[in-house]
Amino acid sequence: MIRRRVALVGWAGVAVAAAGLAVAILLAAEGRRPGAGRRRPAAGAGTGDVGIYGFHRGSLAAERRMEAQILGLPAVENVERHARVLSSEPHVAGTPENDRVARYIYDRFKEAGLEVTMKSYPVYLGYVTRAVLEQVVPERRVLSNPEDPIPEDEGSADPRARLDWNAYSPSCDLTREVVYANFALPEDFERLTRAGIEVEDRVVLARNFHGYRGGKALEAQRRRAAAIVFYSDPAEDGYVRGDVFPKGPWGPDGHIQRGAAVFDFIVPGDPLTPGWASLPGARRIDPRESEILPRIPSIPISGRDALTILKALEGPVVPRGWQGGLPVTYHLGPGPSRVHLAIDAAFETRDITDVIGVLRGRDEPEQKIVLGNHHDAWVYGASDPVSGTATMLELARVAGELARRGMRPRRTLVFGSWDAEEWTLTGSTEWGEENREDLALHGVASLNVDSSASGSRFGAAAVPTLRRLLSETLRDVADPKSGRDLYSTTAAGASEEQTSFAALYGSAASAATSAATSAPSVTYDILGSGSDYTVFFNHIGLPSLDAYFEGPYGVYHSVYDGYAWMSRFGDPGFLYHTAMVRVWGLLTYRIANADILPFEESPYPADVLAYLSDLEREAKTGGAQPPDLTEARAAAGEWQAAAAVVDRSVAEALEGPRPGRKALASANAALMKAERDLLAAAGLPKRPWFRHLIYAPLPTYAAETLPGLREAVAEADAGRARSQSALLASAFRARAATLRSAAAALTGRAEERVSR
């Protein structure tokens, strides 16, 4: 899993309401009712219940009673127990240990009262049975050293965690000189070329972060490098940041970041069934035909071992910004450091197992909200993904208890515990592809929580229509430490200088302009890739979000991401794991129970218009021919006008007489369809699995906006740029028509209003 961070506008108005809610939130979280007759200030609307977007005023009392249960029922001791059990042994996908984790999840879902299935898929996985890296010139030193056992962390001595490897690396036995390539981004390789240093037939040494390792491997492969070696530099996640584990949260100098080096930004899922479900008997391509399997080997090592290479490199001193935190002046090479790399890879088809728990809705059971988390880990995975799994299990228990108390949701909840996410987002992709037609008709939203806690700062990535839902939810959940509402603490924290794990991945291609407000507001990321919402958002078109609490997290994908680190530094007391149960629960039930689906439309076309301006400006700045965006802008303007109409119609319907059932059903069907209007049936050029016209991941996993058009402009393909611009205009007009139909249903043209 990799998260993305880029500033985008939140719903600033909730800051006005948040301060007055803290006492009520705390009382509700403790299971006590606020004082009778308590009045809550609304955002810009005087006194009275602040309301919940999507709920008719006649539904608010029942919803508030149910939400008090969601805030009060989660038990930190349950979450802590799940976290301890699930992180008790290494559990890589395709192993017996991971099967035990899946069975544990199955049993907990059963106890919660969910309908549970274990769905297996035979998929192509690439393991490594032996990986050795050693420097042979100027001095012989072994560089593929396992992480040191730490007495305070019993799991760090487990022999099952001693091998350091990258999934899908091919076998090799080679000896080559080394070139240092900074973060191995395209611009880094171009800088080397300008300096007269080629990487062809050499080993590339690259720092982790500021991009996905698979994207770095692809860049090295394109330049005919012999291999790529990834290492964790203390400037990003080690002693330069602060105290290291076991004294602090940052990575010790011997920690290693494992991971896959596959190209799943082209197409995720089983590499041999690209675009269709990997079911028994399914057609499978030859591995040599796969676009996403790397052709060059790779291996991860520690910063401590990378220091040996960096000390031995000569050539020019690195340019500004390339010097890391190790105690040596960095040089580019090539050589005289020469390394020997030997990898024995084992590629085989193994079963992976998703665990699916379903809570049927009482009124619209065919409509589905997908709650996602994965359960496979690189080692123990206390943060990634066990924190999210522990949160999901407690939310499932709360949902089951609500159903037993007669508070079953209107719409169906699907709890998806996915397998093999760390490989190619595999389990979620295969399940999504298998259920694509049903989800395209009946999918309401995808709410993903991968790593729910590695600190105390809330963050989320979301489609623009879900920002208001997020902000209103944060308003109604207490921060465990301060007692203030999470919206206020998140907004305040955003104004401070922070060093976060997600920030290490840089910014995406474009960002929307902020709303005009003097009050601090929460901003949300845009969706790139790197977690299990990808198939539901980029391929099927469900409005999606990914939420987490983050902080100093220096043990990502290392042996030290275990219970000891989490209980001491990531989330002592497991308070933020439990806070995420409340956040995820309110998000889920506000969609599941809403009279009108809480998808605020107006921010979306505003963002898209900003993306169009960004693209045009960047083309001019870069010397490219700007595309003719006249038609696309006009269509986006139609979408913006329709958005204003539907948002106004929703507001009036929620405040006035309750619309009739048929009117609500028609409006909600249109709101469910709207995201699908932004999909291209043929997909994006050169990677047709990705069908969303507004967002797609770059090789870094960062979000690229207007990807089909942007890539055509970057490649100076005027014809493709024209066709992509026309495709965007058509999608914008289709969405505008869909929104107008939703507004028509709510304004009484589809059915007379009734009062209930």
pLDDT tens digit sequence for 123-151: 999 999 999 999 999 999 999 999 999 99
> H helices of 365-503, where?
387-404, 421-424, 426-434, 436-442, 467-475, 486-494
pLDDT at position 25: 35
Q: Does 734 score more than 70 pLDDT?
A: yes
**Catalytic annotation, pick one of 421, 422, 430, 433:** 421
Evaluate if residue 330 carries a pLDDT over 90: yes
- Total residue count of the chain as it appears in this document: 756
C-alpha dist (Å) from residue 696 to 424, 429, 461, 707 = 16, 15, 13, 6
Question: What pLDDT does residue 749 have?
Answer: 56
Average pLDDT over residues 743-748: 93
DSSP-H helix ranges across 443-506: 467-475, 486-494
Cβ neighbours around 720 below 10 Å, total: 18
Per-residue confidence (pLDDT) for residue 623, from 0 to 100: 82
Q: Is the pLDDT of residue 703 over 70?
A: yes
Average pLDDT of 1-21?
36
Catalytic, 421? Answer yes
Mean pLDDT of 70-97: 98
Is the peptide bond preceding residue 186 cis, with omega within 30 degrees of 0? Answer: no
Q: Does the structure show a pLDDT above 80 at 514?
A: no
> Does residue 1 have a pLDDT over 90?
no
Residues 6 or more apart from 45 whose CB is under 8 A from it? 51
Residue 450: pLDDT band by 50, 70, 90 thresholds? very high
Angle between helices 603-621 and 630-655 (to 10 degrees): 160
Q: What is the pLDDT of residues 351-374, one digit of tens each?
A: 999 999 999 999 999 999 999 999
Give domain limits for the chain. 14-121+350-593, 123-349, 603-746
Per residue in 564-607, pLDDT (tens digit) is 999 999 999 999 999 999 999 999 999 999 999 999 999 999 99
- Predicted TM-score (pTM) of this structure: 0.92
Domain covering 123-349, topology: Glucose Oxidase; domain 1 (3.50.30)
User: Residue 4: its pLDDT value, please?
Assistant: 39
Q: pLDDT value at position 41? A: 28
| Confidence at residue 504, expressed as pLDDT on a 0 to 100 scale | 57
Query: Given this model, what pLDDT does residue 46 score?
Result: 31
In whole angstroms, what is the distance from residue 71 CA to residue 24 CA?
Answer: 11
Q: Which CATH superfamily is domain 14-121+350-593 in?
A: Zn peptidases (3.40.630.10)
pLDDT tier, 84 (very low <50, low <70, confident <90, very high otherwise): very high
Residue 10 scores a pLDDT above 70:
no
Residue 619's pLDDT is what? 93
- Per-residue pLDDT at 19 exceeds 60: no
Residue 455: what pLDDT?
Answer: 97
In this structure, the number of other CB atoms found within 10 A of the CB of residue 514 comes to 13
**Kind of pairing between the strands at 115-137 and 443-448:** unpaired
CATH 3.30.70.100 for domain 603-746: no
Model pLDDT for residues 569-581, shown as the tens digit of each residue: 999 999 999 999 9
What is the C-alpha separation between 605 and 590, in angstroms, rounded? 24
**Residue 679 DSSP label:** B
Mean pLDDT of 77-85: 98
pLDDT greater than 60 at residue 444:
yes
Structure confidence by residue, pLDDT tens digits, 720-730: 999 999 999 99
- Structure tokens given for 727: 């495709």
Q: Minimal CA–CA distance to 9: which of 393, 517, 478?
A: 517
Residue 452 pLDDT more than 50? yes
% of the chain exceeding 90 in pLDDT: 87
pLDDT at position 520 is 75
The answer to whether 490 touches 40, Cβ cutoff 8 Å, is: no
Report in angstroms the alpha-carbon separations of 367 from 17, 26, 380, 535, 561: 31, 32, 35, 18, 37
Alpha carbon distance 564, 144 (integer Å): 25
pLDDT at 50 exceeding the cut of 80: no
- DSSP annotation string for 335-397: -S-EEEEEEEEEEEEEEEEEEEEEE--SSEEEEEEEEEEE---SS--IIIIIHHHHHHHHHHH
Reported as a single tens digit per residue, the pLDDT across 477-510 is: 999 999 999 999 999 987 553 445 455 544 333 3
For the chain, the average pLDDT equals 91
**At residue 16, does pLDDT exceed 50?**
no
